[in-house]
């Protein structure tokens, strides 16, 4: 779930936390996205932290940070440290697969964001 970048994550977050769970309304969610673009650092981690901080306090914010950010860190760390041999074709294959997966995830998120946020079409 943590691969795909901000575009993928905000699509998933919108679907899960706004539409399904109704933890936050669409307007507040749009403001969180705007704020995450202004602040330095990973926007999707900031949005996830802010939603859970609002929902479950500091412990909830910390928990979502560990659950959302740590798995990606751990996977990338393991991939980087196990590449000690000359025969690393498996690493190239895994990386290629992750890139393809990320492309599909980002495309899905972009389509969902378009449906959620582009309500009007104006021509100039």
Is pLDDT above 80 for 33?
yes
- How far apart are the C-alpha atoms of 12 and 88, rounded to whole Å? 33
Evaluate if pTM is beyond 0.85: no
Of these ranges, 42-56, 75-89, 93-107, the one predicted with the greatest mean pLDDT is 42-56
pLDDT at 50: 92
Q: Which residue's structure tokens are 């977050």? A: 13
- How far apart are the C-alpha atoms of 5 and 113, rounded to whole Å? 14
Is pLDDT above 80 for 60?
yes
What is 72-86 written as a DSSP string? HHHHHHHHHHT--SS
The whole-chain average pLDDT of the chain stands at 82
pLDDT at 99: 85
Per-domain residue ranges of the chain: 5-117
């Amino acid at each position: 779930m943590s691969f795909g970048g901000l575009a993928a994550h905000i699509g998933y977050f919108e679907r899960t936390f706004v539409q399904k769970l109704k933890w936050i309304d669409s307007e507040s969610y749009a403001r969180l996205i705007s704020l995450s673009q202004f602040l330095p650092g990973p926007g999707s981690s900031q949005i996830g932290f802010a939603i859970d901080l609002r929902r479950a306090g500091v412990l909830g914010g910390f928990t979502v940070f560990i659950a959302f950010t740590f798995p990606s860190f751990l996977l990338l760390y393991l991939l980087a440290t196990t590449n000690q041999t000359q025969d690393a074709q498996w690493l190239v294959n895994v990386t290629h697969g992750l890139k393809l997966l990320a492309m599909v995830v980002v495309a899905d998120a972009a389509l969902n964001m378009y449906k959620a946020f582009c309500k009007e079409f104006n021509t100039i």
